[in-house]
C-alpha cells in the first residue's frame, strides 16, 4: 500500500526539476475526442491513482460535492439506450439512423467515466457554484494525472446530460447532476497543440 502524499516542502535541489515536470504536464494536456481514443487505456489500479489525484482538489467544508462513475459494458448499454431515448425526447421524429448514431456515442473510447455534482448537502457557507468549482478542480487533477502517465483524455457533454432518460440510467438522486463524461485512452492520431490565450488577455493587475 502506498503511503499518503507528503506536504513537506520540496528540497531546493529538486524544486527546479519538479517545476519543469509539472509545467510540462500542464501544457501537454489537451482535449482528444472520444472517437479518437483507443487502447491501451488505464487499468483499475491506474484509475484508482487518478481518482486519488481528483480527491486532492480544494473542497470547502469537506463536503465532497462530487462523485465519479466508471461505466462498464452493462452500464454502457444502458447509457446507449438513454442517449437514444433522450434524442426522442427532444425530437420525436428522429430517424432510426439518428438513434443509432446516438447509441454509438456510448461505446466510444476504452474508459468512460461520468462526473457527477452532488449538490444535496444544505450548507449555506458553501454555495453551489463553489461546489462546482471543486468538481472542476477534481476533474482537472484527474486529467493531469492521466497526462503524466502518458494517457490522453477528453471531456464531453451535450443535451442528453439533462434528460430524464440519462438520470434514470445512472440512478441519480434528486440534487445530483451529471456534468460531463471523461474518456481516457491513447490518442489514435497526432493533434497539434491548441493555442492558449496570452496571460494579459485574461488577467488584470489592479
DSSP characters over 140-156:
HHHHHHHHHTT-EEEEE
Domain boundaries, the chain: 31-188
Digit-by-digit pLDDT tens for the chain (206 residues) are 344 455 677 777 788 899 999 999 999 999 999 999 999 999 999 999 999 999 999 999 999 999 999 999 999 999 999 999 999 999 999 999 999 999 999 999 999 999 999 999 999 999 999 999 999 999 999 999 999 999 999 999 999 999 999 999 999 999 999 999 999 999 999 888 889 999 999 999 99
Q: What DSSP state is assigned to residue 161? A: G
| CATH superfamily ID and name for 31-188 | NADH Oxidase (3.40.109.10)
* Strand-pair partners of 180: 115
Q: Please check whether residue 34 is in contact with residue 80, taking contact to mean a CB–CB distance below 8 angstroms.
A: no
Amino acid at each position: 500500500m502506498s503511503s499518503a502524499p507528503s506536504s513537506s516542502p520540496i528540497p531546493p535541489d529538486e524544486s527546479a526539476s519538479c517545476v519543469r515536470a509539472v509545467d510540462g504536464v500542464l501544457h501537454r494536456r489537451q482535449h482528444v475526442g472520444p472517437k479518437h481514443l483507443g487502447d491501451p487505456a488505464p487499468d483499475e489500479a491506474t484509475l484508482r491513482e487518478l481518482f486519488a489525484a481528483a480527491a486532492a482538489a480544494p473542497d470547502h467544508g469537506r463536503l465532497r460535492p462530487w462523485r465519479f462513475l466508471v461505466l462498464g459494458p452493462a452500464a454502457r448499454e444502458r447509457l446507449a439506450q438513454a442517449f437514444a431515448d433522450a434524442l426522442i425526447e427532444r425530437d420525436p421524429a428522429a430517424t432510426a439512423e439518428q438513434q443509432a448514431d446516438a447509441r454509438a456515442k456510448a461505446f466510444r473510447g476504452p474508459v468512460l467515466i461520468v462526473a457527477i455534482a452532488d449538490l444535496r448537502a444544505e450548507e449555506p457557507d458553501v454555495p453551489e457554484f463553489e461546489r462546482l468549482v471543486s468538481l472542476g478542480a477534481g476533474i482537472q487533477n484527474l486529467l493531469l494525472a492521466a497526462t503524466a502517465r502518458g494517457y490522453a483524455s477528453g471531456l464531453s457533454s451535450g443535451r442528453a446530460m439533462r434528460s430524464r432518460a440519462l438520470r434514470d440510467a445512472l440512478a441519480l438522486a434528486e440534487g445530483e447532476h451529471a456534468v460531463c463524461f471523461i474518456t481516457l485512452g491513447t490518442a489514435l492520431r497526432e493533434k497539434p497543440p491548441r493555442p492558449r490565450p496570452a496571460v494579459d488577455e485574461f488577467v488584470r493587475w489592479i
